[in-house]
C-alpha cells in the first residue's frame, strides 16, 4: 500500500512562503498534443523523469526543512505511478 500524502504541495509551501502558487496550465493544455506527437511511451517517460527530477530538486531542502521529505517522497511516488503505466 502506498504512502498517502498528508496535504497538497501548494498548501505545504504556502505555509512557509505565504506565496500563492498556481499550476502550470500551459503544460496541462499541451499534454494532449504531446501525447499525439510523442506517443504514450515517450511522453510518460518524460513525465516520470520530471517527477523524479522534482524529487531530486527537493533533496537540498530536507536538511533545513525535514518536512519537505514527504513532498520529495510524493514526487518519487508520482514518478513510480507514471512508470508503472508503461509496464
Measured from the CB of residue 28, what is the shortest distance to Fe ion in angstroms? 13
Q: Which of 55, 58, 78, 82 is in the footprint of Fe ion by CB under 5 A? A: 78
**Residues within window 8-67 making contact with Fe ion, judged by CB under 5 A:** 51
Closest residue to Fe ion using C-beta atoms: 78
| DSSP alpha helix (H) spans, 18-67 | 25-38, 40-62
> How many chain residues are in contact with Fe ion, going by CB under 5 A?
3
Specify the residue for cell string 512562503. 17
Specify the residue for cell string 531530486. 56
Element (H, E) at 34: helix 25-38
Rank residues 18 and 24 by Cβ distance to Fe ion and give the closer one. 24
Amino acid at each position: 500500500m502506498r504512502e498517502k500524502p498528508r496535504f497538497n504541495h501548494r498548501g505545504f509551501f504556502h505555509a512557509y512562503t505565504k506565496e500563492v502558487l498556481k499550476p502550470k496550465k500551459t503544460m496541462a493544455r499541451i499534454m494532449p498534443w504531446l501525447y499525439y506527437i510523442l506517443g504514450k511511451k515517450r511522453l510518460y517517460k518524460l513525465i516520470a523523469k520530471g517527477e523524479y527530477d522534482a524529487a531530486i530538486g527537493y533533496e537540498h531542502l530536507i536538511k533545513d526543512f525535514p518536512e519537505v521529505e514527504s513532498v520529495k517522497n510524493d514526487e518519487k511516488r508520482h514518478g513510480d505511478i507514471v512508470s508503472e503505466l508503461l509496464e
